[in-house]
Amino acid sequence: MKIQKVGIVGAGQMGCGIAQVCAQAGHEVYLLDTTQAQLKKAKADLERRLSRLVVKKNITPKEKTAILKRIKTGTKYDGFKACDLAIEAAVENEEIKHGILKKLCAVLPAKSLIASNTSSISITRLGARTDRPEKFVGMHFMNPVPVMELVELIRGIATDEETYAAIRELTLELGKVPVNAEDFPAFIVNRILLPMINEAVYTLYEGVGSVEAIDNAMRLGTRHPMGPLELADFIGLDTCLAVMNVLHEGLADTKYRPCPLLVKYVEAGWLGRKTGRGFYDYSGDKPVPTR
């Protein structure tokens, strides 16, 4: 099937980025969130990002206007009635995702596909909670979506080949590189990345190095563009913890046990950049380590 109109649930950092790349590729987009306040923030973010592209001469002012015009927003699921594909891009919480999928299935046309941007949760299990598991697939974008080229595509046990082929074609249309990942906890990227971040938190917890020392060591010693603790703040510590819990529970291996310090930061509401405080304090002109 040819995907023309795309609906996205969740106007946070990931959902907003997915909306942008879909609209830039010429697709009509419906972006949903629970509050008008979040949608207003998303529109401002889109305006700012696209304005930067105009300044860099990557797009023209006319193209910017056309892209923004393709993105409609709302708080009602009725907007999905004309969508060929719905992408769930909500927080990494399985129960919340189940509730969203139930609402989507009630309004989506029978022929429409559903994709989840989950970074760790079983696609088979999520698909089983829909009325169309054969039309359900994992489509895990990387953050920030407009910049990162990779999209992990994950089949559930019931996903049919036509669904997978349509999503792969869309991924290529968006200018992304699709990589097939099997339906194991955290797939490929986060199966490798999050244990490294968790180990960096353990290194801090055990006093081996400070926040600054750990991040500088990994930036300068391994040529990582961001240190692991800085990256954790960028991802969101709640998301990091959620992925580690999925790995720990799904693979039943103690090497995936979340660091107690990561748990404490999340309990404190120190979730990283999005809350202004995590392993760094972002309240000033320059981030300052909190330990």
Q: Which residues are catalytic, by number?
A: 119, 140, 152, 190
Contact 50, 27 (CB under 8 A): no
Contact 135, 112 (CB under 8 A): yes
CA-CA distances (angstroms) from residue 214 to 11, 53, 174, 204, 218?
Answer: 33, 34, 36, 8, 6
80-83: Cβ within 8 A, 24+ apart: 80/7, 80/30, 80/32, 80/104, 80/107, 80/108, 80/112, 81/107, 81/108, 81/109, 82/5, 82/109, 83/5, 83/6, 83/7, 83/30, 83/108, 83/109, 83/112
